[in-house]
Structure 1
Amino acid sequence: MHPTLKSQYTWFHVVGRFSTATEALAVNGSALAVRKFEPIMVQPESKTPDGSYFLSSLDQAIPFTMKTIHRYEKGGDNVGDVLKQALSKALVHYYPLAGSMAISPQGNFMVDLTQKTAPFVEAEADCSLDVLGDVRIPNPAVTNKLTYSDPNAKNILETPLLSAQVTRFKCGGFTLGVGISHSLADGPSGMNFINSWAEIARGKPVSAVPFLDRTLLKSRMPPRTKYPYDDFVEITDTSDTEQLYQKDPMVYKLFSFDPEKIAAIKKLALSDGKLKSCSSFAAVSALVWRARSKALKMKPQQLTKIRMLADVRSKFEKPLPQNYFGNAVVTTAGLATTGELCEKPISFAVEQIQKAVECVDEEYVWTRMAFGDTYRPQLSSVGTLVISSWTRFDYSMSNFGWGNPSQFGCGDLGRELCVFMPEGEGKKGIAVVLVLPHSAMNTFEELVQI
C-alpha cells in the first residue's frame, strides 16, 4: 500500500471494499476471469517488537519477491475469514514479514518495524480450478491474477514484504497466492511460515517456532576472502544467446523424471568408471545442464556455469538453531565450456557438480559472504543455469482446514532458473520446471528423453 495510505488502516479495516475491474484471460482454451476485492491490511494480533530488524549479507543479495501458488480442491464459504484471522496470529511469530524494507545508515537493507501490516486480498474466479491446469508450470499472466502486487509500489522499498490472495473458484476449491520478499525468507523459511499459518488456521499451536535473530550470520570483520569462487566468474556471451532470447517467445515446461529414468541417468554417468557414486540431484542436474547448453546453440568455446543453491543450516560447527528464519543458502558453481559438456561423457558434468557441492562448508560460507560484501559481483548472464531444488519442501503440511494442497508451484521463473520439485509416489521422482525460448525448448525436450 502507498505510504500515504498506510495510516488509514487498522487491523481488518478496509477503506472502500469494492471489486476491481474483472479481466478475462484465456487459459487452456478456457476463460479465467478473476474479480479482486480491495486489500485488507492485516496486523499482528498482539504487540510485537518495534524498531529495525537486521538482515544478513545472505539476505542482502536477493531483494525480490518470490511468488508461490497453492491449489486446494476443497474450501468453505469462510475460507477468506479463516485465513485472514490466522494470518494475524501467525504474524505475531513472524512479525518481520509485516514490516517494510528500508535502508540502514550503512547503506544496507534492513526491515523497518514502525508500522506492521501485510495486504490480504480476497478474490473470486468465474470458473472451476480445472481451467488452471498444472499450477506447477508458471504462467505469468495467471500468476498476476492469483497473487497480489501493490500497484502503487514504485521500487523494492515500497513493495510489501508479504502479500496473500485467496481466490475462490466455482467448483468449491480455492488457491492461495503468496508473495514473500526473498530478503526475508529462503525456501525452507518460507515453507515453515506457510505451514505455521496453516496450523493456526486449524486451531493448532505453531510446531516450528521461528528463530528470528539473524545476527548469527553477521559478516566477520574484517572481511576475509579465500577461494577463487567459480560462482563469481563473469561469462561473456560469445554465442549470441541473448539474441535468441530477444527473438523467440518464452515457453515454460515441466519434465518428469521418475525413479526409473533417474536410475538410467545414474547408470550412464557411472558407466565409464570415473565416478564412484552419483546422486539423483547430480544426475538430473548434469542432464539438464548439457541439454540446455545444446538447446541454446552455444558454441563449443562458450563458457557455461551451473549455480546450485545449497542449504547451509547444518554446515556450521555449531549448526544454526532449528527453524532459523532467514536466508541460510549459498550458491556454489561448476564451470565448463559447451564443448566439454557436449563432447565428454555425462560423468564429466556430474563431476563438476559434485566438486561444487562438496566444497560448501562453514569457511566457504563466511568467505563467500565476505567476497560478496567486498566486490558486489554481477552474477546474471545468459551462460548461467541456476538450479533450485524444492524436493525436500514439505508443502503437504499446508492444510488450512480443508485438506492438503493438491499442487504447489512457483508463480514465475527467471530465465536462468530451473526448479526441481518432488514427483510421483513417495516423492522419489523429480519434476524439472524451466523456461526457454520456443525453439530451444523444442530441442531441449528431445535431448532429455531417456
Structure 2
Amino acid sequence: MAQPNSVKVLEICQIGPPPKSVPTTSLPLTFFDIPWLLCRPMQRLFFYELPYPTDHFKQTILPILKHSLSLTFQHFFPLASNLICPPQPLKPHILYTDGVSALLTITECMGDFDHIIANYPRDARDLHPFVPQLNPARVLPDNTRVVPLTSLQLTVFPNSGICIGVPFCHVAADGKAFHHFMKSWASICRKIIKGDLDCIDSNSTLLPFHNREVIKDPNGLEPNFLEEWWNWASTWKEDTRLINDVLADKVRATFVLGQAHIKRLKHMITSQCVDKELEPLHVSTFVVTCALIWVYLIKSQDSPVSKFSDIDNDELYYFNFVADCRNRLEFPIPSTYFGNCLAICFVSLKRCELVGENGIFSAVKAIGNKVRELESGALEGAEKWLLDWKEISELGHFVAVAGSPRLGVYETDFGWGRPKKSEVVQIDVSGAISLAECGDEDGAIEVGLALSRENMDNFNAIFQHDLNLL
C-alpha cells in the first residue's frame, strides 16, 4: 500500500541557464567554503496554497516556473554547476560549463496538505518524499569526483497547494546566498506572471556577486583547512542506513515563540542583571530563543529513570551556531556576495548550569558573549573551526542551529502569496534545531525540532508550562 504522503512522478527534466548565456567559469573555494565540504546537503521546503487541479498547474504554472528558474540560474550559475574534487594535492573548485544543469522533478501528492504543513508533532518521515535526491557524484578516470550541487522538486497537491523542495550542497552557498537565489527566482516568476518581459536588470544592485578575490585570508586558514579536510575525508564513511530506519521513532514539530513571550523573556534576563548588579548582557531575539530552546532540550532528555541514575552534572554540553561575516570583517564584502561567509561559533556549559534554577540566564550569558565577541574579531579562533567541529560532534551533547530569523524565508513570494510553511528537513537526521521568522506574527520566531516521541512529549510539556509562567 502506498504511504499517505507518497508522490507520483509526473516529469523529470534538467534546467540550466539559457544556452550560451554564461561563459565557462571556475570558482575557487575560499577558507569560508572548505569547512562545509563534508556537510550533509541542506534541504529546504516551501509550501504554498494554490487551489488548482494538477492539469492547471502543469499547463499554466509549471512553464513559468521552469522559464523563471532558467533565467535565475543565468545569474546564480554556481547552484547549477558541479563541485570538482581532484585527488590531493589539487584543490577542489566549482566549475560551470555551458550545458550544465540541475535536475528538476515534478511530482503529485494526494496527501493532506493541511496536516503536512501543521505545527503539531507529525511523523518525521512525512516530509522526505518532497525532497529530491541530488544526482550521484561521477568519478573520472583520474579519480576526480564531479558532484552536482543542487536539485529541485515541485510537488503539486491537487486543489490545495504546491511544495518547492531544494536540497543543495552547503559548500556552494550559505543560508543568505541560498535565500537570495530563492527570492530572485520568486521575483522573476512574479514579473513573468504580470507580463513584465524585463525580468531582471543586468545592472541591478541585487545581482549576486561572484568574485572570490574579495575574500582575504590574512591568517593563512585555507591551506590548513584543506589539509584537515583531506585527512578527515580519507576516514569519512557515508551513512548508508535507510531514512525510514533512521527516523522510525522520530517526530517533528514547530514551536512558535510569540513576540510577547520574547519581550518578557528579555525583560526577565535584563532584570536579573540589575538584581545581580551585573553588566548588561547581549539580549537579542536570537540569543534568548537559542538559550531557551537549549535548556528545554536538555531538560526534555530526562526520564523518570535517568533522574535517579548517575548523571554527570559536570559534563560539558555544547551549542553551535553560525554568524554572517559580510559586515564583520576588516575587508569589505558585498552583502550580495554569493558563497559562504560564516563564522562557526561554539559555546559550552556544564549540565548543572543548564538545568539549574538560572539555566536560561546562564545560556543567554554564554551565547550572548560569543555573539558580542564577533563584533571585535569574527575570525578569532578560526584556525580551530574544523578540529572543534569534529571533536565536539563526536562527543555528543551537542545542539546546532540551522537557519536564522534574519533570512526572510517567508518573503519568498512567487506570485501566489507568502509561503504557508517552510521547513528545514535535514534536522531530522542532523539533530539540529531550525530557526526562522514566523510566517503569521511579526516579531515571533518559529523553532523546528525533530525528536523521539518521548522527548518531544517532554519538550512540549516544558515549553507550554514555562511559557504560561512568563
1-side partners of 2:369 and 2:41: how far apart?
Answer: 31
1-side partners of 2:253 and 2:181: how far apart?
Answer: 28
Unaligned runs of 5+ in 2: 193-198, 224-244, 303-310
Provide the TM-score with structure 2 as the length reference: 0.77
Deviations 1:237-262 (A, max 9, x none): xxxxxxxx999922322222112222
Residue 437 in structure 1 maps to residue 420 in structure 2:
no
Q: Residue 359 of structure 1: SS of its match in structure 2?
A: helix
Match among 276, 279, 283 for residue 280 of structure 2 = 276
Contact kept? 2:108, 2:157, Cα under 8 Å: yes
Q: Taking structure 1 as reference, are residues 397 and 275 closer, same or farther at Cα in structure 2, changes over 3 Å only?
A: same
Q: Residue 172 of structure 2: SS of its match in structure 1?
A: coil
Contact kept? 2:324, 2:343, Cα under 8 Å: yes
* Structure 1 residues 262-411: aligned runs within 5 Å: 262-272=262-272, 273=274, 274=278, 276-277=280-281, 278-297=283-302, 299-345=312-358, 346-361=360-375, 363-365=377-379, 367-372=380-385, 377-380=390-393, 381-411=395-425
Q: Residue 432 of structure 1: SS of its match in structure 2?
A: strand
Q: Residue 355 of structure 2: SS of its match in structure 1?
A: helix
Identify which range, 123-132 or 427-436, moves more after superposition: 123-132
- Residue identity in the other structure for 2:101: T
Identify which range, 330-339 or 32-41, moves more after superposition: 32-41
Contact kept? 2:64, 2:189, Cα under 8 Å: yes
Contact kept? 1:69, 1:135, Cα under 8 Å: no
Match among 94, 101, 105 for residue 121 of structure 1 = 105
Contact kept? 1:415, 1:435, Cα under 8 Å: no
How far off is 1:276 after superposition? 2.3
Deviations 1:108-127 (A, max 9, x none): 43213245211111112235
Q: Taking structure 1 as reference, are residues 79 and 106 closer, same or farther at Cα in structure 2, changes over 3 Å only?
A: farther
How far off is 1:141 after superposition? 3.0
Match among 16, 20, 43 for residue 43 of structure 1 = 16
- Residue identity in the other structure for 2:63: D
Residue 56 in structure 1 maps to residue 56 in structure 2:
no
Q: Residue 210 of structure 2: SS of its match in structure 1?
A: coil
How far off is 1:394 after superposition? 2.1
Q: Taking structure 1 as reference, are residues 116 and 283 closer, same or farther at Cα in structure 2, changes over 3 Å only?
A: same
Residue 205 in structure 1 maps to residue 200 in structure 2:
yes
How far off is 1:357 after superposition? 0.7
2-side partners of 1:341 and 1:374: how far apart?
Answer: 25
1-side partners of 2:108 and 2:247: how far apart?
Answer: 36
1-side partners of 2:438 and 2:14: how far apart?
Answer: 36
Residue 181 in structure 1 maps to residue 169 in structure 2:
yes
Identify which range, 419-428 or 54-63, moves more after superposition: 419-428
Provide the TM-score with structure 1 as the length reference: 0.80
- Residue identity in the other structure for 1:215: E
Identify which range, 125-134 or 276-285, moves more after superposition: 125-134
How far off is 1:40 after superposition? 0.9
Contact kept? 1:391, 1:421, Cα under 8 Å: yes
Q: Residue 167 of structure 2: SS of its match in structure 1?
A: strand
- Residue identity in the other structure for 2:407: F
Contact kept? 2:135, 2:151, Cα under 8 Å: no
Contact kept? 1:100, 1:157, Cα under 8 Å: no
The structure where helix makes up a greater share of residues is 2
Match among 198, 213, 216 for residue 215 of structure 1 = 213
How far off is 1:191 after superposition? 0.6
* Structure 1 residues 18-33: aligned runs within 5 Å: 24-25=2-3, 31-33=4-6
Q: Residue 405 of structure 2: SS of its match in structure 1?
A: coil
Percent identity (aligned): 23
- Which residue does the alignment assign to 1:252? 252
How far off is 1:148 after superposition? 1.4
Q: Taking structure 1 as reference, are residues 39 and 57 closer, same or farther at Cα in structure 2, changes over 3 Å only?
A: farther
Contact kept? 2:85, 2:146, Cα under 8 Å: no
Contact kept? 2:109, 2:156, Cα under 8 Å: yes
Q: Residue 52 of structure 1: SS of its match in structure 2?
A: strand
Q: Residue 35 of structure 1: SS of its match in structure 2?
A: strand
Residue 261 in structure 1 maps to residue 243 in structure 2:
no
* Structure 1 residues 15-164: aligned runs within 5 Å: 24-25=2-3, 31-45=4-18, 46-63=20-37, 64-74=40-50, 76=57, 77-104=59-86, 106-114=89-97, 116-127=100-111, 129-134=113-118, 141-150=125-134, 152-153=136-137, 157=145, 159-164=147-152
- Residue identity in the other structure for 1:148: P
Q: Taking structure 1 as reference, are residues 224 and 364 closer, same or farther at Cα in structure 2, changes over 3 Å only?
A: farther
Q: Taking structure 1 as reference, are residues 368 and 87 closer, same or farther at Cα in structure 2, changes over 3 Å only?
A: farther
- Residue identity in the other structure for 1:129: F
Q: Taking structure 1 as reference, are residues 379 and 97 closer, same or farther at Cα in structure 2, changes over 3 Å only?
A: farther
How many residues were matched structurally? 403
How far off is 1:352 after superposition? 0.8
Contact kept? 1:53, 1:112, Cα under 8 Å: yes
How far off is 1:134 after superposition? 2.4
Contact kept? 1:220, 1:370, Cα under 8 Å: no
Aligned alpha-carbon RMSD (Å): 3.2
Q: Residue 405 of structure 1: SS of its match in structure 2?
A: coil
